[in-house]
């Protein structure tokens, strides 16, 4: 088969067509650099080119999605590159009353759109770009912390749900803006479709409707990816979401790539375990996991990647091995 462009390769994988090799991309955080649009865009562009990945997942700090409501945070050296909250915005039930929709063209959302514009302007034309969003229900969790979040959700539902509607409106507006700016889609990171966080009934009632509204706002994007976070995912609650690709911790949490491909019509994204094997394993072990992922899917409907963001200290040699393995694995 003739060599494909990166865009052609990703589009073929999403459609279940034959590819010259499976598309591949990994993502990480860029602490400190992620606080300025220019520096974050430069890191994202350099990173994609250095490893010849097939698309750019713009990697902002998660704090951008709730900073405009007054959150304060700083980087304290977490191996993941995540920032720490210095104080939660929501402490008392009545604090939810202050949460209103924000203008996504200003503040931290405005800086995120500026970063996207820089990436789109400077990328190679055939490299797709998707921007990271976080599900509205988890935005509420970020604002309040795990214990206050679940307590207020259950004990003060009116206040909580009114604030959730404002967060959903903001997130959907940003998803729409990403596509309008020229982004190829969104990467919707859903943390609350997890038995670690809440019950299925709570997620169906609160999380699913808000997620669907965000995805509907991004419906003009051709490359919308759903990320299901956590070690106990509610896969059955999200596999019918209108996204073209789905990513989760397939190696550590399951189910397998092949199992999800039976019930999700788009491309599955993963195959490489990032916290242990990609971090501490040898290149040959990384290649083995990539080859196994290709075998599971017969080389189709697969985008090779990790289950989530990988630690900052992952050796570059293992990323090179993963990229190389997509060319040496037998595929359709």
Structure tokens at 29: 């955080």
pLDDT band at 162, cuts 50/70/90?
very high
Given this model, what pLDDT does residue 331 score? 64
Q: Which of 11, 23, 8, 4 is nearest to 299 (CA)?
A: 23
Give the tokens for residue 9: 């390769």
Measured torsion, CA atoms of residues 63, 139, 168, 190, in degrees rounded to the nearest 10:
100
Query: Is the per-residue pLDDT at 66 higher than 80?
Result: yes
DSSP 63: G
136 pLDDT above the threshold of 80: yes
Tens of pLDDT, residues 200-226: 999 999 999 999 999 999 999 999 999
pTM for this predicted structure: 0.97
**83: pLDDT confidence band, cut at 50, 70 and 90?**
very high
Note the pLDDT tens digit of each residue in 279-332: 999 999 999 999 999 999 999 999 999 999 999 999 999 999 999 999 998 765
Residue 55 confidence (pLDDT) above 60: yes
* Residue 255 structure tokens: 């189910």
User: What average pLDDT does this structure show over 258-277?
Assistant: 98
Alpha-carbon distance of 23 to 7, in angstroms, equals 9
Q: What is the residue-wise DSSP string for 214-233? A: HHHHTTT-S--EEEE-SSSB
Angle at 98 between CA 96 and CA 102, to 5 degrees: 110
Q: Are 56 and 45 in contact (CB under 8 A)?
A: yes
CATH of domain 6-328: 3.20.20.210
Provide the pLDDT for residue 332.
52
Band the pLDDT of 2: cuts 50, 70, 90: confident
Domain layout of the chain by residue ranges:
6-328
First-to-last CA distance in the chain? 10
pLDDT at 1 over 90: no
Average pLDDT of span 22-49: 98
Is the omega angle on the peptide bond into residue 95 within 30 degrees of 0, that is, cis? Answer: no
Q: Rounded mean pLDDT of the chain?
A: 97
Residue 244 sits at the vertex; the CA angle it makes with 122 and 15, to the nearest 5 degrees, is 95
Please enumerate in sequence order all residues whose Cβ is within 8 A of that of 139, keeping only pairs 6 or more positions apart, or say none: 65, 66, 167, 171
Q: For residues 91-128, b (16+ Cβ closer than 10 Å) or e, as one string?
A: eeeebbeebeebebeeebbbbbbbbbebbbeebeeebb
pLDDT for residue 47 is more than 80: yes
């Amino acid at each position: 088969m003739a060599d494909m462009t990166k865009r052609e390769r990703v589009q073929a994988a999403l459609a279940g067509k034959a590819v010259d090799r499976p598309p591949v991309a990994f993502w990480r955080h860029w602490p400190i650099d992620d606080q300025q649009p220019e520096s974050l865009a430069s890191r994202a562009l350099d990173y994609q080119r250095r490893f010849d990945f097939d698309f750019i997942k713009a990697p902002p700090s998660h704090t951008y999605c709730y900073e405009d409501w007054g959150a304060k945070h700083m980087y304290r050296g977490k191996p993941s590159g995540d920032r720490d909250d210095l104080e939660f915005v929501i402490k008392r039930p009545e604090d939810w009353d202050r949460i209103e929709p924000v203008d996504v063209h200003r503040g931290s959302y405005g800086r995120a759109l500026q970063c996207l514009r820089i990436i789109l302007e400077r990328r190679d034309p055939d490299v797709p770009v998707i921007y990271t969003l976080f599900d509205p229900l988890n935005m509420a969790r970020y604002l309040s912390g795990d214990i206050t979040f679940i307590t207020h959700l259950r004990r003060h539902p009116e206040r909580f749900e009114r604030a959730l509607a404002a967060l959903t409106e903001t997130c959907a507006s940003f998803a729409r803006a990403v596509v309008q700016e020229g982004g190829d889609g969104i990467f919707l990171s859903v943390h609350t479709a997890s038995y670690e966080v809440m019950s299925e009934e709570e997620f169906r009632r609160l999380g699913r409707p808000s997620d669907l509204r965000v995805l509907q706002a991004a419906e003009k994007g051709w490359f919308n990816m759903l990320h299901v976070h956590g070690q106990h995912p509610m896969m059955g609650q999200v596999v019918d979401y209108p996204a073209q690709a789905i990513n989760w911790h397939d190696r550590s949490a399951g189910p397998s790539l092949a199992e999800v491909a039976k019930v999700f019509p788009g491309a599955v994204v993963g195959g490489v375990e990032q916290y242990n094997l990609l971090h501490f394993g040898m290149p040959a072990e990384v290649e083995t996991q990539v080859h196994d992922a290709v075998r599971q899917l017969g080389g189709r409907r697969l985008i090779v990647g990790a289950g989530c963001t990988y630690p900052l200290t992952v050796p570059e040699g293992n990323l090179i091995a993963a990229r190389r393995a997509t060319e040496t694995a037998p595929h359709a």
